Amino acid sequence: MSAILHDGVVWWSIFATAVGFGGVVANEAGLVEVDLPFLVPDRDTMARRLAARYPAAGGENPLTRQAAQLLADYFSGRPVRFDVPLAERRFTVFQREVYGLVRQIPRGEVRTYGEIAAALGRPAAARGVGQAMARNPLPIIIPCHRVVGAAGQLTGYSGAGGVDSKRWLLALERSAPAKDDKGIQ
């Protein structure tokens, strides 16, 4: 997968959370990947993981530092707005549409795959929405954990830790204030 992401220079940053260390990767176009902190116990392990996938990375840049801070804030329970550029060129038109809608789901709320498909004007495309979620390289920033099965069940989560991580993320969002005093979700 990383070969697809190498559109020139790539940068990455690491962020610390109570559940482990995560990583965020960007290129000139914007963010390309978030590596969730679940199951990564230390900074060195995450650094080795990112260095193996991106051996020619140019260290950090302002975007990776900003995204890493936003993700650390998110994992500490603070409401944040992920108003950062994404490297969307590698997404299909359908994925861009799905990801755009999913980014609008408020913190702590969920939508079903079918609801997303219907909102796109493609009510029969629930499986396609599920496939887009499974390919989401930017979990949390594109909050695919907020998309659930038809009966509200927590179904497949491709992020580290699987469905248990999805459950944990939703619990985190529901236990924290929905908005801060600036209206940030």
Residues with catalytic function: 144
Query: Helix, strand or coil for residue 153?
Result: coil
Listed residue (54, 81, 87) closest to 66, CA to CA? 81
Work out how many domains the chain is built from and give that number: 2
User: Which CATH number do you get for residue 18?
Assistant: 3.30.160.70
Tell me, yes or no, whether 104 and 28 share the same domain.
no
Place of tokens 């690491």: 14
- Assess contact for 110 and 174: CB atoms under 8 A: no
* Helices and strands in the chain, H and E counts: 7, 5
Cβ partners under 8 Å of residue 151, min gap 6: none
Instruction: Give the strands of the sheet with 30-35, arranged side by side.
Output: 11-17, 20-27, 30-35
Euclidean distance between CA atoms 152 and 46, whole angstroms: 33
Tell me, yes or no, whether 123 and 171 share the same domain.
yes
User: Does the pLDDT of residue 71 top 50, yes or no?
Assistant: yes
Of 75, 101, 131, the position where a domain reaches its end is 75
Span 170-179, average pLDDT: 78
Domain-embedded: residue 180: no
Of 34, 50, 75, the position where a domain reaches its end is 75
Tell me, yes or no, whether 38 and 104 share the same domain.
no
> Where does the pLDDT of residue 8 fall: very low under 50, low under 70, confident under 90, or very high at 90 and above?
confident
- Which pLDDT score, from 0 to 100, does residue 179 have? 52
Tell me, yes or no, whether 62 and 109 share the same domain.
no
Cβ partners under 8 Å of residue 5, min gap 6: 25, 27, 32, 33, 54, 87, 90
User: Which CATH number do you get for residue 111?
Assistant: 1.10.10.10
Domain-embedded: residue 83: no
- Which pLDDT score, from 0 to 100, does residue 120 have? 97
pTM value is 0.88
Question: What's the pLDDT tens digit per position in 140-155?
Answer: 999 999 999 887 778 7
Tell me, yes or no, whether 57 and 97 share the same domain.
no
Which residue range forms the structural domain that includes residue 46? 2-75
DSSP conformational letter for 150? T
Domain-embedded: residue 129: yes
Tell me, yes or no, whether 54 and 127 share the same domain.
no
- Which pLDDT score, from 0 to 100, does residue 165 have? 87
